[in-house]
Each structure stands twice: as C-alpha cells, then as structure tokens.
Amino acid sequence: MPVDLRDRVAIVTGGGRGIGRSIALGYARAGAEVLISAARNYEEAQAVADEARPLPGRIEALQADVTVLGDVERLVTRAVSLNGRIDVLVNNAARGMRFVNERFMTEPRPFWEADPDAWRMVMETNTVGVFLVSRAVVAHMLSAGHGSIVNVTINQQTMVRRGFSPYGPSKAALEAMTAVWAQELEGTGVVINLLLPGGATDTGMVPGDVPRDTRLLSPEIVVPGALYLAVTERSGQRIVGTEWTDTR
C-alpha cells in the first residue's frame, strides 16, 4: 500500500549516500519534509537535496556530526523549524570497517592490531551518536504523543564475524539499545524498530577489493520497509529488506 508522508518531517542521519540517501529520497517521494545530515561530505548531501527537487516532498542537507552534541542540537532545532514537528528519525549514520582496516573483506585482522582511535570512532558514531540524536528527538516526539525511530542495523552473522570488530559489535549494541528503549517507550505513542538490507550492500562501506563473486544488494532494497516503519504504531519489529512483504 502507498505510504503518504505529506506534512511529516523526517531526519535521516548519514543521508548523503548509500542507504541513507535511498531512504531520504523514498520519503521525499512520499511527500515528507526530510532533513539529512552529513558529518564530512556535505556536497554529497546537498546533491541528494538537489536530486529531490522534482519530488512531492523536499530534502534539506545539513552538515552535522552525530557524535557532537552541539551539531545534534542544531540538527534537531532545524528539523523542528521545518513544520513544527519531528515524525520520523532514521539513525543511519555509521562508520564501517574501512576506518579500521581498508582490506577487511579480504585480509581480516585481529582486534589487537586495530588503531585505538579508529576503533573508538566507529563505536562512538554507531552507538553514542545514535543515543545523542535519539535522546534529542524523542523529547519532541513524547510531547507530540507520536513518532517513529528507525535504527539501521546489519545481519546478526556479521555482528560476530571474524575481522569485523568493532563494526559488528557496535551494531549488536545498537540492537540491545533498541530493545531496551522499546520497553521504556511503551505506551508513549513513540515506537522504535530495526531495519536492515539483509546482505552486503553496494555502499561506501564496501571496499574496492570485495571478492568478485559477492552479490551486492542495492540500497533501494530497504526503502519499502523504511516507508512502512515511518507510519507503524508498533515497536519490536526487525525488518529485513530481502525478506520484506507489506502485510498491512
């Protein structure tokens, strides 16, 4: 069934490329006002906003690092100014294994060889960043009595795959956070759920030396599930793009 997001406001962190870009454009096609953030490559995010100009909705880009409290506050303040509300938050911004090991797909390395600063950056973006943005957004959602938080995750096999630390464990922590927060949000009208592609996806997180026989999914595979989660009234769902069937 078509999802109508007219008059709704969504934040999509890390919306300049990959999964975030696809979700942002999907929401704009459904009529939403979408604010996307980019920590470093603002030009990419602005290109996504430009791409959305013919669509029923609108995308605006803002340079903001989800691990920096001041940036998070600017992001949320700007989102509220768009239409006086925040209906959807997609926590997509993440750092992948390439920051720790550029050749992690073909030459996995043990955790004790990882650079501590890179390891910390991945964990902070993928967990602390989600906490900071969710914390700031949920205050507005609770006041309104409704809202949807979507946390982008990965396959559970990847969470414990050799050579995928700290990226895999950071997403395991994200899933635990989501389960805890769902309990704490129960009865408030605000829901929180998980979304993942269902396999290796053609994004900037995949290195150039990925094995040729690896079948990469299109980031677009998550869009139907992301649209559904924007309007669902139920927490505790884990939507896998490759398995998704809309049963509304």
Q: How far is CA 188 from CA 9, 140, 227, in A?
A: 19, 12, 21
Q: Are 86 and 72 in contact (CB under 8 A)?
A: no
| DSSP tag of 57 | S
Q: How far is CA 224 from CA 18, 26, 29, 36, 104, in A?
A: 15, 8, 12, 19, 30
Question: What are φ and ψ of residue 59, in 5° steps?
Answer: -120, 135
d(CA 61, CA 227): 20
Q: Does the active-site annotation cover 167?
A: yes
Query: What 3-state DSSP class applies to 239?
Result: strand
Catalytic residues, by residue number, are 167
